[in-house]
Chains A and B, each alone.
Chain A
Amino acid sequence: MNSMHAAALVAAMSVMTILTRFLPFIVFRKNTPRYITYLGKVLPPAIIGMLVIYCLKDVSILSKPFGIPELIAAICVVGLQVWKRNSLISILTGTVVYMVMVQMVFG
């Protein structure tokens, strides 16, 4: 990708992020429509689910290493999160576990 296109993508992300933050201050000063409030409740967890799949889209379960490093690291993240409820610990440990696996075990 050339730098111009990359800069356009960064600008797009910037403008849209600013828009999502400013829009309510401009539009919903008084009453928020119930449909919007409903989406506000259900959309965030759904989008996190979408992003989990998005992150794993390049994993091939039909060829070596069959997604095993991803599976083991993901189990570590979920287990630690349930146990410690500290995202930073879960993320750091899961990432280190994954790096060790792809570099030393399955490398």
Chain B
Amino acid sequence: MAGYVVLGTGFGILLRNAGYGVLWAAAMSLLIYAGSMQYVGVSLLTGGASVLTTLLTTFMVNARHLFYSISMVDTYKDAGRYKPYMIFALTDETYSLLCDGKAPEGADPNTYRFLVSLFNQSYWVAGSVIGSLLGGVLPFSTAGIEFSMTALFIASFTEQWLTTRDHIPALTGLLSTLLCLVIFGKDRFLIPAMLLITLVLTLLRRREEGETV
């Protein structure tokens, strides 16, 4: 909960600094509801991205959601009328709370999962709105607060580095993107980087399989 309120507040302040007020913050948190993607979204908005770049970026940034959903196909199969909302609201945070498939004793598992999903989004929306309102009245300068997005991804990068042994995918992402940034420049490197990452990882898989056969 604390995570959602704090990160939501950061998002609200950032979006406000980018020139989009409280209605935009609420709308994005209600309609998109994907933490990291909304941070990236702020910079897509300020950078004047095209719809195509936005669609592709959203797909890549959210690709992990495909796999959260894959692993929840069974768990959610009897959720009935709650199911559409539960799938819509399957964020990193909600997934991490529900992925073990357990529910508190005595509670209906589907109602429990629905409420966890609903409360998480409420915290996120509330945080975004608070941030947006706060951004206008803070008694100190918020210059530099945009680093919260960088810090978010550096922290995720470090955490996944510490929890995995195979660092090839992480390095592939880092180096492919750096290469594309140098070649294509900072306004056009994102799509080439996503294509290159997918290509390199696909080739690495073939080699991996070739060795084991």
For A20, give its contact among B62, B181, B197 (CB under 8 Å).
B62
Q: Is the CB of A101 within 8 A of B144?
A: yes
Q: Which residues of A contact B31 (CB under 8 A)?
A: 10-11, 14
Q: Is the CB of B142 within 8 A of A99?
A: yes
Contacts between chains A and B (CB distance < 8 A), count: 257
Q: Which residue of B lies closest to A76 (CB)?
A: B151
Per the bound structure, the CA–CA distance linking A1 and B45 in Å amounts to 8
Q: Is the CB of B62 within 8 A of A16?
A: yes
For A22, give its contact among B51, B69, B189 (CB under 8 Å).
B69
Q: Which residues of A contact B157 (CB under 8 A)?
A: 45, 48-49, 52
Q: Is the CB of A90 within 8 A of B151?
A: yes
Binds A, one of B107-115, B128-136, B166-174: B166-174
Chain A residues bordering chain B, tally (CB within 8 A): 69
The smallest C-beta distance from A86 to any residue of chain B, in angstroms, reads 9
Q: Which residues of A contact B178 (CB under 8 A)?
A: 53
Q: Which residues of A contact B46 (CB under 8 A)?
A: 1
Q: Is the CB of B65 within 8 A of A45?
A: no
Q: Is the CB of A12 within 8 A of B51?
A: yes
Q: Which residues of B contact A95 (CB under 8 A)?
A: 10, 144-145, 147-148, 151
B41, B151, B194 — most chain A CB neighbours (10 Å): B151
Whether B44 sits at the interface, judged by CB under 8 Å, is yes
Q: Mark A72-92, 1 if CB is under 8 A from B, else 0.
A: 011001100110010110111
Per the bound structure, the CA–CA distance linking A55 and B147 in Å amounts to 8
Q: Is the CB of B201 within 8 A of A42?
A: yes
Q: What are 23 inter-chain pairs, A to B, with CB distance below 8 A?
A: A6-B20, A10-B32, A12-B51, A12-B55, A13-B32, A13-B38, A13-B44, A13-B58, A17-B58, A20-B63, A20-B65, A21-B65, A23-B69, A43-B201, A47-B63, A49-B174, A51-B153, A54-B190, A82-B158, A90-B151, A90-B155, A91-B155, A101-B144
Contact residues of A with B, CB < 8 Å?
A: 1, 5-6, 8-14, 16-25, 28-29, 32, 35-36, 38-58, 69-70, 73-74, 77-78, 81-82, 85, 87-88, 90-92, 94-95, 98-103, 107
